[in-house]
Amino acid sequence: MKRKTPHARPRWRTAALCGSLAATLATLDARAQDAAPRTDAAATPSLSEVTVTGNPLGAEQIVTPASTLSGESLLLQRAATLGDTLQELPGVFSSYFGPNAGRPAIRGLDGDRVRILQNGGASFDASSLSYDHNTPVDPLTIERVEVLRGPAALLYGGSAQGGVVNVIDNRIPREPVAGPEGGVTGRADASYSSGDAQKAGAALIEGGNDRYALHVDAFTRHAGDTAVPVALECTRPGSPALARRICNSANRASGGAVGGTAFFDRGYLGASLAGYRSDYGTVAEDDVTIGMRSTRAALEGLWRNPGGLIESVRGHFSHGNYRHTEYEGSEAGTVFTNRGSELRLEARHRAIGKLQGVWGLQWEGNEFSALGEEAFVPTSRTRTAALFAQEELGTDWGKLTFGARAEQVRVRSLGSAETDRFATGTQRFAPGSGAVGALVNLTPGWQLTGNLAYTQRAPKDYELFANGPHLATGTWEQGNPGLGLEKSTSLDVGVKWKEGAHRFALTAFASRYGNYIGLLPTGATRGEGDLPEYAFTGAKARFAGLEASGTLRLLGQQGVWRGGEGASVLDLDLRADLVRATNTSTGQPLPLIAPARVGATLRWSEGPWGVRVGFDHSMAQHRVPEGSRITAGYTLWNASVTWRQKLGRTQLQWYARVDNLSNRLAYSATSILTQSAFGRAPLPGRSLRVGVQATF
């Protein structure tokens, strides 16, 4: 299958940072665990709600920079991809390969250096291999998303150097869903978007009592080509030759899951089975579509008070089958498959004085293959085994955290039955990582945090053995079996303040790499069409930046005036971030790094009504490698209105949101398409989304 190959610019799979992170999902069942003495500044009020990810001990305060998206904010911000849903969070960007594919990038780092989890377990897919591969996660079914930035990798390995994104959907309930007495709860969503004529719907129902819980959910999404502020050419049969739409950007997606949990006096055991399917255009080529299919099974359990030093043991096992087929018209071309399993066991020990901690082991294995004339990676098998530990020491002034992880990684190339261009063989690595963190309660309203981490990451199969045309980026990718461990040292320092409804957080971070594995041009051309060759090469690199967020109560309680129940409340949310990334071996900036951003949202509510008006401004990105395209700055405005209505036991939340209110033409600096196929995929134009969410 032959496809057009637009000129490509240098591409790096960005990376950085490691540190004191901990197992996911422990807080959700913390109320079910036996109470243990809490020594971490018990008398000091928490500056933020407990974040589950990275918080195995159920502490009210965590050291690692983190944020959560849930409730009304998630309802209004959710998009077709996980990256686009999260991109309003400071330090989080989308890799944006059109409206149908976009992974989260954290602090300029993406691909296999940002770990995407589902309920704390691995998400088996091939989204980190190529920008046009989407994650098999649809925001329609998400209850909450948690993002850890910076040194946050110890429990999840080198693939979490940049951070962790944990998608929580409660498909395995960890506590009674309707209280001890039992009952049934549910949620249903329906929405329509004007910009792509998208019709979307989702429903879930949960029921049970203090002995069992059941969960069922389903979703569907159908969208046409996405509207943009400029007319674009299109050669796809049946489409206009020139239209103000992104050619080949339509998509269909559907899926669902069933899960259940049995509760015992000393724990629980639950399982789930989920399916996901999506068919979407690649937007880089007018006649190429992708059919993605994924199934995932998970088993999870908790055993409290097994005896001796151990307070509780948690186990999580997941298995996934992923298949991704690229079509030109109706003809199937390259087929990517990934079959994998993960086992994680964590043991929390009883408090030893003021010391609490969790120890664990993790095993992960996957078999990956790419079959077809455009396959640029061989069939491979990867096995990872790891031991990890995190300890937390409470003090009179705050807490200290310590963590370590040791891994054994084996990557084996099996070559290909279709071609002999791939090297075969086995590479073994033994990465090790360590981190220390501190939280200092300066006053009842002020906190200071810091994390120092050293991380090692084993090269991925494609970094070692790739050798072929990667037409999504218009390059010939060449792996290097001789690559060694990627190594980085990172530091972040943050300050938080809270007084009533007012809050503020500022974090500065920096990371240095001694062997950053990047995809660098060799100057040669290869293959049919003389594709520019890019080779995975170790280099020195430096990342640094700032993140800030805050909320100011302008009217209402603790504002200019006080009102009674149902009185008006007016808040101003502020956010900003900055990332600087440099290849210090050449002195050139790294590509696909977001420019500085600032944003604000004014939120008003009174009784059942809510109104939001906000903007996000991206500066021009002039710091690009030599020969790359500079990206112009832009400002995107949005506005929304919500209204709550109660009908018996059912509560309805009606909402309407307008994105890109001024219909501004803009291009993303973090999208490879801005460099390799400029003009094909600008950011979406003005779009109105209306919908209703019912809960009971």
More confident site: 5 or 612: 612
pLDDT confidence tier of residue 559, bands split at 50, 70 and 90: very low
Given CA atoms 615, 162, 110, 146 in this order, what sign does their dihedral have? negative
Q: To which residue do tokens 């665990």 refer?
A: 33
pLDDT at 36 over 50: no
pLDDT at 8 over 70: no
Distance, in Å, from the CA atom of 91 to the CA atom of 87, rounded to the nearest integer, reads 8
Eight-class DSSP state of 621: B
Tens-digit pLDDT profile for residues 190-237: 999 999 999 999 999 999 999 999 999 999 999 999 999 999 999 998
The answer to whether the CB of 591 falls within 8 A of the CB of 12 is yes
Query: How confident is the model at residue 155, as a pLDDT?
Result: 75
User: Measuring CA to CA, which residue among 447, 439, 557 is closest to residue 504?
Assistant: 447
How far, CA to CA in Å, does 651 sit from each of 174, 187, 645, 647, 694? 24, 10, 6, 6, 6
The answer to whether the CB of 521 falls within 8 A of the CB of 539 is no
Token pair in block for residue 378: 């061989």
Tens-digit pLDDT profile for residues 252-300: 999 999 999 999 999 999 999 999 999 999 998 899 999 999 999 999 9
Tens-digit pLDDT profile for residues 51-79: 566 666 666 677 888 889 999 999 999 99
The answer to whether the CB of 292 falls within 8 A of the CB of 193 is no
The domain at 27-202+209-695 falls in which architecture?
Beta Barrel (2.40)
User: Measuring CA to CA, which residue among 129, 139, 130, 199 is closest to residue 167?
Assistant: 139
Distance, in Å, from the CA atom of 79 to the CA atom of 685, rounded to the nearest integer, reads 14
Residue 461, H or E segment: helix 461-465
The answer to whether the CB of 534 falls within 8 A of the CB of 10 is yes
The domain locations on the chain are: 27-202+209-695
The answer to whether the CB of 151 falls within 8 A of the CB of 451 is yes
pLDDT at 34 over 60: no
Query: How confident is the model at residue 557, as a pLDDT?
Result: 60
What would the mean pLDDT of 534-551 be, rounded to a whole number? 95
pLDDT at 48 over 80: no
pLDDT confidence tier of residue 148, bands split at 50, 70 and 90: confident
Token pair in block for residue 200: 């979307």
Other CB atoms within 10 Å distance of the CB of residue 212: 17
User: Measuring CA to CA, which residue among 383, 428, 384, 438 is closest to residue 406?
Assistant: 384
Tens-digit pLDDT profile for residues 448-487: 999 999 999 999 999 999 999 887 778 899 999 999 999 9
SS (H, E, C) 630-656: CECCEEEEEEEEEEEEEECCEEEEEEE
Query: How confident is the model at residue 523, as a pLDDT?
Result: 84
Q: In percent, how much of the chain has pLDDT > 90?
A: 70
DSSP assignments along 247-282, one per residue: TT--EEEEEEEEEEEEEETTEEEEEEEEEEEEEEE-
Predicted TM-score of the model (pTM): 0.88
Query: How confident is the model at residue 547, as a pLDDT?
Result: 97
Eight-class DSSP state of 72: H
Which residues on adjacent β-strands are paired with residue 553?
571
Query: How confident is the model at residue 43, as a pLDDT?
Result: 36
What would the mean pLDDT of 6-27 be, rounded to a whole number? 35
Query: How confident is the model at residue 111, as a pLDDT?
Result: 85
Q: In percent, how much of the chain has pLDDT > 70?
A: 89
Query: How confident is the model at residue 15, as a pLDDT?
Result: 33
pLDDT at 637 over 70: yes
Helix, strand, coil tally for the chain in percent (to 5)? 5, 55, 40
Tens-digit pLDDT profile for residues 581-612: 999 999 999 999 999 999 999 999 999 999 99
Token pair in block for residue 311: 């307070």
Strands of 144-149's sheet in order across: 66-70, 144-149, 163-168, 114-118, 121-122
The answer to whether the CB of 517 falls within 8 A of the CB of 540 is no
Distance, in Å, from the CA atom of 482 to the CA atom of 359, rounded to the nearest integer, reads 33
How far, CA to CA in Å, does 131 sit from each of 104, 134, 501, 632, 691? 11, 8, 40, 22, 30
Looking at this protein, which amino acid is placed at residue 61?
Answer: Q
Distance, in Å, from the CA atom of 391 to the CA atom of 401, rounded to the nearest integer, reads 6
Tell the burial category of 80 from Cβ atoms under 10 Å away from its Cβ (0-12, 13-18, 19+).
Answer: buried
Other CB atoms within 10 Å distance of the CB of residue 78: 22
User: Measuring CA to CA, which residue among 226, 96, 82 is closest to residue 660?
Assistant: 226
Tell the burial category of 81 from Cβ atoms under 10 Å away from its Cβ (0-12, 13-18, 19+).
Answer: buried
How far, CA to CA in Å, does 501 sit from each of 61, 112, 208, 557? 18, 37, 36, 8
- Share the mean pLDDT of the chain: 87
Q: What is the dihedral of CA 590, 592, 596, 601, to 10 degrees?
A: -160
Q: For the stretch 88-124, what's the b/e string if a residue is b when 16 or more beta carbons lie within 10 angstroms of its beta carbon?
A: bbbbbbbbbbbbbbbbbbbbbbbbbbbbbbbbbbbbb
Other CB atoms within 10 Å distance of the CB of residue 452: 17
pLDDT at 47 over 50: no
Which residues on adjacent β-strands are paired with residue 643?
609, 654
pLDDT at 341 over 70: yes
Q: 527-532, long-range: CB within 8 Å, 24+ apart, which pairs?
A: 527/468, 527/469, 527/476, 528/2, 528/469, 529/5, 529/469, 531/5, 531/8, 531/469, 531/474, 531/475, 531/476, 532/7, 532/8, 532/474, 532/475, 532/476
Which residues on adjacent β-strands are paired with residue 264?
267
pLDDT at 441 over 90: yes
Query: How confident is the model at residue 676, as a pLDDT?
Result: 86
Residue 464, H or E segment: helix 461-465
Query: How confident is the model at residue 150, as a pLDDT?
Result: 65
Query: How confident is the model at residue 54, as a pLDDT?
Result: 62
pLDDT at 620 over 80: yes
Distance, in Å, from the CA atom of 233 to the CA atom of 246, rounded to the nearest integer, reads 9
